[in-house]
Structure 1
Amino acid sequence: MLEPVAMVWGRLDRLTTRRYVTKVVQARLGEISGACGPGVDAERVLRERLKRRLTEQGTLPVTDPVGWLVGRALPRRALCPDSRCDDGRRMDTRADCAACQMLVLDGRALRSRAFAKATKALAGGRVDRPVFEAELNACWQREASALAVRREEAVRERQARERVWAEQRAQRAAQEASRQALACTVCGKPETAGLCGRCRDERRVEELVGEAVDVAVVTWGMGGEAYRLDAVHRTERDMRGAVEQAVADLLAAGGGVVAESVALAARLAAELQLGALQRRALNHFAYQPQAQAEYEKVFATEMRRSHLHDSVAEAREAAEEAAQTARFNTAHALLDERLRTLRAARPSAEADAEPDWYAQAAAQVRGLIRPAPPERAVSVRRPPAFPGSPAGGSEGLAGVGA
């Protein structure tokens, strides 16, 4: 990239000097790439810059090769604030720099105003050069004063914004500190931001049970009331069974298990069980008529593009992959749509105090599930503040002390 100045580079007889200039060259290449983006050939831009600098040098000898390369040949020169400008031209597009042109036009307009004032003050439209230069200097002084005022205003505005931001940060920090100092609203543990980890995990278990019941109802319980009750019964039984099994395994391991660990194990077990249920639901919807139709449409569309592949087998494999993706995307959409419809149709606890079929089924399930031993279970009481979860809660999982 230093071919245009090879004669100057050849005069660098010390290895340390060449390494120093090489570092400067790498820095300039990084500057060009950062300003113009990775799509611009930074080495090409730097070569063109060196050619211009060498042309400007003309027949004058370069007495200080290092100083000339580092101080004159390699640095970018621009009058405007655009970092892509070099000698009045854009490094990325090689076009004239618009910002520099604006500065030139501003200067011409300023000289035109000074010329008009200078000729107006004299009779006959004559131009007195000293008067014109004095008027032009006065115009420049006014422009510089106005620019200084604008800069001071910008500095004051920035300082005002920084003060406001500092006040907002201090206010948020104070609010966060006061929130962290709140005691748990369930168990009363101090400095837990209103809800300790154990109670949060217990509440999350109930939310996960409610989500699992919703998934089961919209997937397998839409055939009638009996199907709904069966889906609610089976799902809540499986979810709570998985939670109880995880808690029992943790307590059987021994080692001084604390209540927080028990609650965390229950939440993780509920999350795993819900994930498995969601995968089963997606597999169910993936072979419904809508998903099957989407699969066949995408498969046929991709097979019409088989000429883009090397063989029919590759085309069929690509079409199968795209069709399966479309199938399961449709299954996701069907599941989400049914869940939204179910939750939108469910009356809130405040709006309807009478228990619906959902609450009645949950109550039946709670009566059928046998309570676990108190010393080997975790409390998963369902909070009444979540109307989106299934009505009622199970008391079959009691708390465990530390």
Structure 2
Amino acid sequence: MTVVDGGADPLRGEKPDLLLAEGESGSAASASTLQAWRDASGGPPPVWAQVPKGLERVLEPVAMVWGRLDRLTTRRYVTKVVRARLDEISGACGPQVDAERILWERLKRRLTEQGTVPITDPVGWLVSRALPRRAVCPDGRCDDGRRMDTRADCAACQMLVLDGRALRSRAFTKATTALTGGRVDQPVFEAELNACWQREAAAAAVRREHAVQERHARERVWTEQRARHAAQEAARQALACTVCGKPETAGLCGRCRDERRVEELVAEAVDVAVAARGMGGEAYRLDAVRRTERDMRGAVDQAVTELLAAGGGVFAESVALAARLAAELQLGALRRRAVSRFAYQPQAEAEYEKVFATEMRRSYLHGSLEEAREAAEETAQTARFNTAHTLLNDRLRTLQAARPTSEADAEPDSYAQAAAQVRGLIRPAPPEHAVSVRRSSTLAGQPAGGSGGLAGVGT
């Protein structure tokens, strides 16, 4: 056994704190530390921790400090802290920055600042001094007075420095004007500077108090608004249905809402059909209204009939819901047919050709001419149908703009007259099979009689 005498050399099992020499890297210092350990104690240390994989670049400046982490749980904890600091840098500066480079520079600065002072607690030094960001300003991108992303001086820190200089300048001016001969008395200057700092601190405390009061006032206003809105919502929920009188339905129960929505969907389908068949020609408009009305009502009646034929107790709400869903599906199919019709109009064709030619001019971006043609065809088809959607929406807006805003004051136009004639020609279903929902008076152009419920369905 090799005996090491007392002196400057470490005993076996001790961990010497060697400092980085000028221009020496962490890996080289780690190797020199191991060699010194072997020379002093006759062998390697009991545990010399290796830098974890994936963090070699980040922890390279502090490799010899990391080697002294002799416990696995400690190394896992510090590794978790290192990864948290990397995430913090990426979150503050954005994913485009090199977070590993920034943290490497931070560790290098911290190790340089350590100087000749030995690191007696490697875990505490790494977690509390080397890895954390140091900043006096609220900017999350600042570290030691410099921006981590641009390496420029932090503007917020410079403002704080300028504020401190201005404060010292004011204190110096007051201290010199109070004395004769322009001489400066250090105790007087320090007393005046302390008084300036006290005033600044008192003003900051007043501002913070005002901010707290304003926040409390806003919270009180928000609390009152939430309470008022909650009371209004409770009062609205307590209202009875304006159509069937069902209590606590917020003014309109689910059944009546679905029935009203069916009528709205029928009206939308009629507009889509008229827009798809063109604006001119009264015969075309009348034929579009007649066919659309018949198809929509037929789809609704079929869905409700199938639901009733399934047997069992069927609620009126279920019938109204089935009618609404059937109307939505029918309207969706009608809109798709209308878009397909507009997709081959001259405007859509022109858009298709223009986009196709533009994409073919970029054929050099693809591996072959066939791939370029397929990509151009796909992009041009997308442009074609986008144009078709735009044309359909423009036509629908034109129809809605031409419709009178108030039916009581305006005379019915040809569209409303044609719709009323078609609705008058529709024969009502027999009572045992009457499943269509209530016809709205505003859509039919004439008052609707009866209670407006679903015919043939018991409540």
Pick the TM interval, shorter chain: over 0.9
Q: Would you say the 8 A contact 1:179–1:193 is kept in 2? A: yes
- Residue 301 of structure 1 pairs with residue 355 of structure 2: no
Once the two structures are superposed, residues 194-246 of structure 1 have per-residue CA deviations (whole angstroms, 9 ceiling, x without a partner) of 10000000000000000000111111153411111111000000000000000
Q: Would you say the 8 A contact 1:24–1:70 is kept in 2? A: yes
Q: Would you say the 8 A contact 1:247–1:376 is kept in 2? A: no
Equivalent positions of 1:260-339 (< 5 A) are: 260-339=317-396
Partner secondary structure for residue 401 of structure 2:
helix
Which residue is 2:88 aligned to? 31
Q: Distance in 2 between matches of 1:376 and 1:197?
A: 23
Equivalent positions of 1:144-223 (< 5 A) are: 144-223=201-280
- Comparing both structures, which one devotes a greater share of its residues to helix? 1
Residues 305 and 393 of structure 1: CA distance in aligned 2, closer, same or farther (over 3 Å): farther
Which residue is 1:259 aligned to? 316
Partner secondary structure for residue 113 of structure 2:
helix
Partner secondary structure for residue 332 of structure 2:
helix
Which residue is 2:79 aligned to? 22
Q: Distance in 2 between matches of 1:391 and 1:330?
A: 34
Runs of 5+ unmatched residues, structure 1: none
Q: Distance in 2 between matches of 1:399 and 1:180?
A: 29
Which residue is 2:290 aligned to? 233
Residue 40 of structure 1 deviates from its aligned partner by 2.1
Equivalent positions of 1:9-88 (< 5 A) are: 9-88=66-145
Task: Return the letter of the residue paired with 1:70.
Answer: V
Instruction: Tell which deviates more after alignment, 353-362 or 137-146.
Output: 353-362
Q: Distance in 2 between matches of 1:297 and 1:185?
A: 54
Which residue is 1:101 aligned to? 158
Q: Distance in 2 between matches of 1:393 and 1:232?
A: 19
Q: Distance in 2 between matches of 1:221 and 1:85?
A: 64
Q: Distance in 1 between matches of 2:410 and 2:136?
A: 75
Relative contact order higher in (CA < 8 Å, ≥ 6 apart): 1
Instruction: Tell which deviates more after alignment, 363-372 or 61-70.
Output: 363-372
Q: Distance in 2 between matches of 1:148 and 1:277?
A: 67
Which residue is 2:14 aligned to? none
Aligned match of 1:126 in 179, 183, 194? 183
Q: Distance in 1 between matches of 2:318 and 2:266?
A: 19
Q: Would you say the 8 A contact 1:251–1:376 is kept in 2? A: no
Task: Return the letter of the residue paired with 1:228.
Answer: R
What is the aligned-residue RMSD (CA, Å)?
1.8
Partner secondary structure for residue 296 of structure 2:
helix
Which residue is 2:438 aligned to? 381
Task: Return the letter of the residue paired with 2:307.
Answer: L
Residues 151 and 360 of structure 1: CA distance in aligned 2, closer, same or farther (over 3 Å): same
Q: Distance in 2 between matches of 1:98 and 1:190?
A: 64
Instruction: Tell which deviates more after alignment, 185-194 or 353-362.
Output: 353-362
Task: Return the letter of the residue paired with 2:391.
Answer: L
Q: Distance in 2 between matches of 1:83 and 1:60?
A: 30
Aligned match of 1:342 in 399, 404, 418? 399
Q: Number of residue pairs matched?
A: 399
Residues 375 and 258 of structure 1: CA distance in aligned 2, closer, same or farther (over 3 Å): farther
Aligned match of 1:391 in 445, 450, 453? 445
Query: TM-score under structure 2 normalisation?
Result: 0.83
Residue 10 of structure 1 deviates from its aligned partner by 0.7
Q: Would you say the 8 A contact 1:382–1:393 is kept in 2? A: no
Instruction: Tell which deviates more after alignment, 284-293 or 357-366.
Output: 357-366
Residue 379 of structure 1 deviates from its aligned partner by 5.2
Q: Distance in 2 between matches of 1:351 and 1:377?
A: 31
Residue 352 of structure 1 deviates from its aligned partner by 3.7
Residues 100 and 210 of structure 1: CA distance in aligned 2, closer, same or farther (over 3 Å): same
Query: TM-score under structure 1 normalisation?
Result: 0.95
Equivalent positions of 1:366-377 (< 5 A) are: 366-377=423-434
Aligned match of 1:110 in 162, 167, 173? 167
